[in-house]
Amino acid sequence: MSTYSVESIRNFSIIAHVDHGKSTLADRLLEITGTIAKTDCNKQVLDKLQVERERGITVKAQSASLFYSHEGVNYLLNLIDTPGHVDFSYEVSRSLSACQGVILVVDANEGIQAQTVANFYLAFEAQLAIIPVINKQYVVFKIDLKNADPERVEKQIEKLFDIPVDECIRISAKQGTNVERVLQKVIEKIPPPQFNTTDPLKALVFDSTFDHYRGVIANIALFGGEIQKGHKIVSAHTKKRYEVNEVGILTPNEQPMHKLYAGQVGYLIAGMKEVTEAQIGDTLFMHKQPVEPLPGFKSAKPMVFAGMYPVDHSEYNNLKSALERLTLNDSSVSVHRDSSPALGAGWRLGFLGLLHMEVFNQRLEQEYNMSVILTAPTVPYKAVLSSAKLIKEYGKEEITVINPAQFPDKLSVSEYMEPTVLGTIVTPHKYIGKIIALCQDRRAVQKDMLYIDEHRVMLKYLFPLNEIVLDFYDALKSLSSGYASFDYEDAGYQAADLIKMDILLNGNPVEELATIIHNDKAYATGKFLCERLKDAIPRQLFEIAIQAAIGKKIIARETLKAYRKNVVAKCYGGDITRRMKLLKRQAEGKKLMRKIGNVEVPKDAFIHVLKRQSDK
């Protein structure tokens, strides 16, 4: 590694909208540089996780070091393939901190989409060199995809990003056409890092993974100095001291190296065992040579919270340790202990979005063999307290509510607030009418509307977050035949007329089903939940009233008629053992029931009801 001085290093990320071909382009770059053997089987090789392979999407940024010789000079190129979906944009912004430039990939068929815009601005604001690449373009047959229209996409890029048309490189990542040109552009256009090996060590931890045997593997970018096995280093965040066990580069698997130098990107293992030790955004420095820590990252801001409980309560401790390990690999998940009368002890987890929640759940199942119950997702609301008693209890006036069960009563609150996001929608103009109607139905306020070209429009709307987390994207996709794309960013809180809706069974509230909703949506949601619950609860000896209530006011009601399955009736005659057996079986079934007042509800009924709600 010592032969690669900073002048011969280029650090860059590949960024784009979902599915525009980042990982496929990375495959070709790995092949051209001989990092992996060229075969027909290389399909998104950097997507190593099972969930990534199954879903065909990248969820975790992945680094790879490439060696490439150009005009007689040997270069060390460090590439980071990033995810495209909005839920994982935290991965993108972190990756960019280790780079001096980006390759911005745009699909020649789809053109600029919502995440293209979002990711462009991430790179632009970080003042990185940007190389636009138009993908799915095949020069020999003119086009790779039938509807590819590179000229149009180039014009969009010029109009929106102010990058001259002739700077775009047309490639086919799949066929490898023109990809070598991209590498050359990387060398010409992306500046080498401006760091010195003679400075004291300053290493940014921009990502980390957890290995069962070796503990934390930190991805580091060296902003100064050098590092090798045996060095004593200190974490600026925890002030803890470590001895370096191993350093190396990713090619894309870990390859140990003797030393890493300023400007280089690689990994480090130094006996860190805990989540709190491997703080992403942390600066590592040499013992007794403290440096000014790098600014680090804003911590990931959870957008949705959901309760998580083991399906079988004897699995509690196993789930706890699985959660600890998985959050090491995905530090953007926030974890709080929680408990619920129906589901027992568990956690309340914060995710960056619904896809993130699904992916995390899938990884728990696949990588840790855990099956869990997830409750309905909720967004983090705020309440400004007016009751002196509550202010004293919380120690502050403004509290964040991530569990509807803890929603403070209107009488002790001067104002409720809900989180909002600024959404960007990019769509062919013929769907505009329907999309505007959808946005209005979601209580959104239009902020901007811009034609990217004669057929394509970019809309900006301020949305209440809870109106989009569950199913907005699906609704948008279905009314635009899949052509509209959506991205959003945090836009702070706004005052909102929120209420807590309780669900009652024969007058007793069901804590798990308490929901915080906007006043305007209360009736529809209440009716919906009651209907679902009626389907989910078995009939019992007496009639059951299922009600939705706001405070003392009932806003919806369903009635479940009385009924009892007399299992013993069939056992006429005197076989007492058979009778006993049946009664015993019935009693066991009841163990799986949760009693609310005198009503027995199957444990999974809540989930059933909540899940259906999210499918709505």
Q: Phi/psi of residue 572, each to 5°?
A: -65, 170
Among ligand GTP, Mg ion, none, residue 144 binds (CB under 5-8 Å by kind): ligand GTP
Residue 518, annotated as binding a ligand: no
- Find out whether 172 and 188 touch, Cβ atoms under 8 Å: no
Among ligand GTP, Mg ion, none, residue 145 binds (CB under 5-8 Å by kind): ligand GTP
CA distance 95 to 541: 60
Residues between 142 and 181 that touch ligand GTP (CB under 6 A): 144-145, 172-174
Stated as kind and residue range, the H or E segment containing 14 is strand 9-16
Residue 21, annotated as binding a ligand: yes
Q: Which stretch binds ligand GTP (CB under 6 A): 12-20, 29-37, 255-263, 445-453?
A: 12-20
- Find out whether 251 and 195 touch, Cβ atoms under 8 Å: no
Smallest separation (angstroms) from Mg ion to the CB of 27: 10
Smallest separation (angstroms) from Mg ion to the CB of 68: 21
Smallest separation (angstroms) from ligand GTP to the CB of 169: 12
SS3 563: coil
**Inter-CA distances, 550 with 306, 472, 487, 601, Å:** 22, 26, 34, 22
For the chain, how far is it from start to end, CA to CA, in angstroms? 55
Smallest separation (angstroms) from ligand GTP to the CB of 11: 19
Smallest separation (angstroms) from ligand GTP to the CB of 26: 8
Residue 293, annotated as binding a ligand: no
Quick one: which of 11, 13, 35, 44 contacts ligand GTP (CB under 6 A)? Answer: 44
Provide CB contacts within 8 A for 478, sequence distance 6+: none
Residue 441, annotated as binding a ligand: no
Q: Under the criterion CB under 6 A, does residue 214 sit at the interface with ligand GTP?
A: no
Q: Which among 176, 137, 193 has a CA at the least distance from the CA of 12?
A: 193
Among ligand GTP, Mg ion, none, residue 334 binds (CB under 5-8 Å by kind): none
| CB neighbourhood size of 414 (10 A) | 12
CA distance 123 to 516: 37
Among ligand GTP, Mg ion, none, residue 471 binds (CB under 5-8 Å by kind): none
Provide CB contacts within 8 A for 462, sequence distance 6+: 420, 421, 422, 423, 444, 445, 447, 491
Q: Under the criterion CB under 6 A, does residue 21 sit at the interface with ligand GTP?
A: yes
Nearer to Mg ion, 22 or 356 (CB): 22
Among ligand GTP, Mg ion, none, residue 65 binds (CB under 5-8 Å by kind): none
Quick one: which of 9, 18, 76, 364 contacts ligand GTP (CB under 6 A)? Answer: 18
Q: Under the criterion CB under 6 A, does residue 136 sit at the interface with ligand GTP?
A: yes
Quick one: which of 9, 10, 11, 24 contacts ligand GTP (CB under 6 A)? Answer: 24
- Find out whether 505 and 446 touch, Cβ atoms under 8 Å: no
Return the structure tokens found at 596: 């609310």
Residue 83, annotated as binding a ligand: yes
**Inter-CA distances, 540 with 40, 50, 322, 564, 565, Å:** 61, 44, 39, 6, 8
Strand-pairing partners, residue 546, are 505, 558
Q: Under the criterion CB under 6 A, does residue 19 sit at the interface with ligand GTP?
A: yes
Q: Under the criterion CB under 6 A, does residue 252 sit at the interface with ligand GTP?
A: no
Residues lying near Mg ion in the complex (CB under 5 A) are found at 22-23, 58
Stated as kind and residue range, the H or E segment containing 281 is none
Provide CB contacts within 8 A for 446, sequence distance 6+: 436, 439, 459, 460, 461
Residue 47, annotated as binding a ligand: no
Stated as kind and residue range, the H or E segment containing 30 is helix 22-32
Residue 224, annotated as binding a ligand: no
Q: Under the criterion CB under 6 A, does residue 466 sit at the interface with ligand GTP?
A: no
Report the residue number whose CB is nearest to ligand GTP.
84
Residue 23, annotated as binding a ligand: yes
Instruction: Tell me the residue length of the chain.
Output: 616
Quick one: which of 65, 113, 135, 219 contacts ligand GTP (CB under 6 A)? Answer: 135
Nearer to Mg ion, 22 or 152 (CB): 22
Among ligand GTP, Mg ion, none, residue 21 binds (CB under 5-8 Å by kind): ligand GTP
Residue 85, annotated as binding a ligand: yes
Smallest separation (angstroms) from ligand GTP to the CB of 485: 12
Q: Phi/psi of residue 29, each to 5°?
A: -65, -40
Q: Under the criterion CB under 6 A, does residue 57 sit at the interface with ligand GTP?
A: yes
Binding mask 83-112 for ligand GTP (x = CB under 6 A): xx----------------------------
Smallest separation (angstroms) from ligand GTP to the CB of 385: 42
CA angle 159, 161, 166 (to 5 degrees): 75
Smallest separation (angstroms) from ligand GTP to the CB of 178: 10
SS3 569: helix
Residue 276, annotated as binding a ligand: no
Instruction: Identify the residue whose tokens are 């959506």.
Output: 486
Q: Phi/psi of residue 39, each to 5°?
A: -140, 170
Nearer to ligand GTP, 173 or 182 (CB): 173
Instruction: Identify the residue whose tokens are 């239009």.
Output: 446
Q: Phi/psi of residue 398, each to 5°?
A: -110, 120
**Which residues define the annotated binding site for GTP?**
16-23, 81-85
Interface with ligand GTP by CB under 6 A: which residues? 16, 18-24, 44, 57-58, 83-84, 135-136, 144-145, 172-174
Numbered residues of the known binding site: 16-23, 81-85
